[in-house]
Amino acid sequence: MAGKFRAKNGSAGSAQSGTAKTYHAQAIEKMRKYVRLLGNSLSNKSSNVLPESAKTYRFFAEQNYCEPQSLISTEERNQVLQAVKPSVRESHLTNFYLALVDH
């Protein structure tokens, strides 16, 4: 059963030769990649799903996953979230976005 959850590293015998630390690092990088993809997609989201997508992005980006720092740095998170900040005509969402961005 445990074999089903092993991370791939490209070689046939890698499951026996890899360490938990190696697999953890691979998993962190894969997670970071997917969270960044979500962040990059926010500007293409419709107003119906953007708030929930932005909250999801921030939630995962702030996690540290047993690392000393968060998955995505505060500076990068703020840049991503600022880029999707609503225009003045969408001011009903402004407080939502301001709450998402770390000050």
Q: How far apart are CA 100 and CA 77, in angstroms?
A: 9
Instruction: Identify the three-state secondary structure at position 48.
Output: coil
Q: Is the whole model's pTM more than 0.85, yes or no?
A: no
pLDDT value at position 61? 96
In order of 2, 8, 10, the CA distances from 13 in angstroms are 15, 10, 9
- Between 86 and 41, the more confident residue is 41
Q: Report how far residue 72's alpha carbon sits from residue 99's, in angstroms, rounded to the nearest whole number.
A: 17
What average pLDDT does the segment 19-34 reach?
93
State mean pLDDT over 67-89. Answer: 83
Question: Looking at residue 21, what is its pLDDT?
Answer: 87
* Highest mean pLDDT (candidates 31-35, 84-88, 92-96): 31-35
Is 75's pLDDT higher than 80?
yes
Question: For the purposes of burial, counting CB atoms within 10 Å of the CB of 23, is it exposed (0-12), middle (13-18) or buried (19 or more)?
Answer: middle
What are the residues whose beta carbons fall under 8 Å from the beta carbon of 66, sequence distance 6 or more?
24
**Neighbouring C-alpha atoms within 13 Å toward the C-beta of 46:** 2
More confident of the two residues 75 and 84 = 75
